[in-house]
Structure 1
């Protein structure tokens, strides 16, 4: 009497695959307790129906933070580590959605058993991908895919029918020091998509901000200057007044034609979930195209 030999593991797997019986694929971990340190990550969670355990402070104010996040604890952020670890630990997140600027705080977060993921888009193209990445981390991939499709459609609509493309210098003011925002910065990408021609040729900086003198601003002679004050909330009004009447720029076409604008919000410094709205704002308020 012959004895049936058991199938080898590979042969058994092949048979199971044919009849449709396969081992379930490993599921990616879905994080439920999430801290979001940037406006983009906080608003993305809100749009996906996830309430974070804490959000990071926003220097430009919380006026564009989703209304559904009211009451969520806010963490103060300080260079170079980001949030205070004791305050973060009280919120006990499983996942911290951080930004590269706070990278030095990552080892401390990991020692507390927190996973750290970076998400701080510097272009509209990156934003769409980051939306999907966050969705996967919190178990909301379907909702994130729909949100990303909406963002793409809104940007497409916001960039239609551009009638003119003025030359622009987008300048971040830190105290009395000026930095040109390049195409590889969030604001630079927004202004470019809005129809502005950035006069940043020859300037390079890995972080997207290159120091620029008043003499260089005059030499480049932009049609439009958009100045973005950066500092603590108490310093913003003073920096804004200084930038709006900066004597060193008075010989530019922008100053002569009263096209030096100051943007005191945070939307040109950091990504939010509605880039189409920011592009429309730049077109209507600053470029007139």
Structure 2
């Protein structure tokens, strides 16, 4: 059991004091929604963001706007005693909710270890630390089991990989130091991203063996451009010429939550399909 009052420091470096276990929770991040359900606390959710679609029960909950364009009024009207936010929630939204007297806790996992920490922290806040330990341990085991597929690879068998989220003059990519970059490494790829954004010259210079596109409504154009070489400057990329531009589900690989073992498996299938023959 959690001892209250409980002081916790979130990923915005804010110290929040919780006087009791929250019973009415709003999640404005799909990954945090999945964590709440993974902890067996779905009955405490009174609202979620518009992108929280897993597990299926989340789709029937009241929607509080998007992760960025949050409806402050709807959140306040839900009378939550905890709002969980993620990296896309604007700081002014966090400040406005806190000013309304609501406890707001922010998680920004940059890798799998951070994700396991976030699970344990949310569980402690909610008064179920043992469940947090159990869920984090299971998630860690899932990742380790999934990573066994690539554990025997030597350096020559590790292809260069670039995950491109949006394509443009400045393309958004999965940074080496980010969560999805961690997935690439554990799936047996060498991430050639030079930062969270890369220009055309940098992408051409990196010339990855494999390009991965996390698929959602707003990345379909990126996948189409790369898969079929719609733009002249991508046509000479090795991944494009060899047909190694692969889609993966953004809802899985883009959410640092209970499905991280599955996320590693999906990435491994894209990078090393030969291991699944």
Q: Output the TM-score relative to the length of structure 2.
A: 0.82
CA distance in 2, matches of 1:27, 1:110: 18
State the 1:262 CA deviation: 2.9
**What is the Cα deviation at residue 197 of structure 1?**
0.4
- 1:48 is matched with 39
SS of the residue aligned with 1:263? strand
Q: Secondary structure at the match of 2:205?
A: helix
Confirm whether residue 228 of structure 1 aligns to residue 214 of structure 2.
Answer: yes
Question: Whose Rg is larger?
Answer: 1
Count of residues in correspondence between the two structures: 249
Task: Please tell me whether residue 97 in structure 1 is matched to residue 88 in structure 2.
Answer: no
Which secondary structure state, in structure 2, belongs to the residue aligned with residue 87 of structure 1? helix
State the 4+ residue runs in structure 1 displaced beyond 4 angstroms: 174-177
* Residue 216 (structure 1) shift: 2.4
Contact 2:252–2:262 (CA under 8 A) maintained in structure 1: no
TM-score w.r.t. length of structure 1: 0.79
Conservation of the 8 A alpha-carbon contact between 2:213 and 2:222: no
Partner secondary structure for residue 161 of structure 1 = helix
CA shift at 1:226, angstroms?
A: 1.0
Q: 2:205 aligns with which of 198, 214, 219?
A: 219
CA RMSD of aligned residues (A): 2.2
Deviation at 1:176, TM superposition (A): 6.8
Q: Residue 245 of structure 2 corresponds to which residue in structure 1?
A: 260
Q: Please show how residues 1-289 of structure 1 align to structure 2 within 5 Å.
A: 26=4, 28=6, 29-51=20-42, 52-58=45-51, 62=53, 65-77=54-66, 79=68, 82-102=69-89, 103-162=91-150, 163=153, 164-173=157-166, 177-200=170-193, 203-204=194-195, 209-213=196-200, 215-228=201-214, 233=217, 235-246=218-229, 247=231, 248-263=233-248, 265-288=250-273, 289=275
Q: 1:74 to 1:176 in 2, by over 3 A?
A: farther
Q: Secondary structure at the match of 1:266?
A: helix
What is the CA deviation profile of residues 246-267 of structure 1, one whole-angstrom value per residue up to 9, with x for unaligned ones? 3322212212211012335333
Separation in structure 2 between the aligned mates of residue 149 and residue 244 of structure 1, nearest angstrom? 38
Shift of 1:78: 5.8
Distance 2:269 2:30 in 1: 23
Inter-partner Cα distance in structure 2 for 1:187 and 1:42: 19
Q: Deviations over 1:130-152 (max 9, x none)?
A: 10000011111111110011001
* Runs of 5+ consecutive residues of structure 1 not aligned to the other structure: 1-24
Say if 1:145 and 1:264 are closer, same or farther in 2 by CA, change over 3 A: closer
Q: Please report how far the alpha carbon of residue 287 of structure 1 lies from its aligned counterpart in structure 2 after TM superposition.
A: 3.0
Provide structure 2 residue ranges, at least 5 long, that are not aligned to the other structure.
7-19
- Quick one: structure 1 residues 112 and 27, their matched pair in 2 at CA, closer, same or farther if it must change by over 3 Å? closer
Q: CA deviation at 1:39?
A: 1.4
Residue in 2 that maps onto 1:4: none
8 A contact 2:226–2:240 mirrored in 1: no
Q: 1:236 to 1:226 in 2, by over 3 A?
A: closer
Question: 1:184 and 1:167, CA in 2 relative to 1: closer, same or farther beyond 3 A?
Answer: same
